[in-house]
Amino acid sequence: MIIFPAIDIRNGKCVRLIQGDYNQEKVYNDSPVDTAKTWEEKGANYIHIVDLDGAKTGDSINKSIIKDIANATTIPVQVGGGIRSMEIIDYYLTSGVDRVIIGTAAIQNKAFLQAAVEKYKEKIAVSIDARGGYVATDGWTDTSTVKALDLIKELETIGVHTIVYTDILKDGMLQGPNLDEQQMVNEATSMNVIASGGVTTKNDINNLQALNMYGTIIGKALYDGKLNFESIMEG
């Protein structure tokens, strides 16, 4: 299972939000590039980056910083947050980013998602952020009437290879992941599923690994020192 340390970028800085609340922000580092280098030095094989400004506004204002991260590290990075045009996908995938994650636009503009998957295939992933089993959009500020499992089936038909599944109610709470929901999603699809939200302990990671998840994203637990990354990577 791939362990993805998360780097959330807002106003050019590395931050974390609680349950996606933009009013509950903690700044961890003024330099996301330095943060990425640190994770690589600690043994990360892949980095997960979210442009929080992009997720909220649809404008990828942190794209140059993300390009700098891709160029400053030798490990692959995947990027999500406000990716709603082919232009920004082209920018990222020609700037050293390995995989681009489409979120809100995957629900609101299926033709765009289809075109992106046809052009870039496995380089396109989709982020499903769920609250109570329903998909949330626009940086988690709105909850749609779309059931997560219905969307998952549709994505598989379109040809998506990888999804990131986040239980918003667990995100940033340091209370463990929603294992039942992650298992349900993983068993409902042949796509690669990356679990996100609430991973706090080594036991959480072991439990997700036992579910045969493709990967898991860890954020707040690493930044607050609840988890030691080197010890995770040592197994």
Which of 51, 53, 129, 138 is catalytic? The answer is 129
| 43-71 average pLDDT score | 95
**CATH superfamily, domain at 2-234:** Aldolase class I (3.20.20.70)
Which of 8, 51, 53, 204 is catalytic? The answer is 8
- The pTM is what? 0.93
Q: Amino acid identity, residue 55?
A: A
The pLDDT score that the predictor gives to residue 133 is 85
Band of the pLDDT at 228, cuts 50, 70, 90?
very high
Reply yes or no on whether 98 is catalytic.
no
| 89-94 average pLDDT score | 98
The pLDDT score that the predictor gives to residue 23 is 86
Reply yes or no on whether 171 is catalytic.
no
Distance, CA of 216 to CA of 175 (rounded, Å): 15
The ranges assigned to domains in the chain are: 2-234
The pLDDT score that the predictor gives to residue 234 is 82
Per-residue pLDDT of 141-184, as tens digits, reads 566 788 999 999 999 999 999 999 988 875 555 678 999 999 99
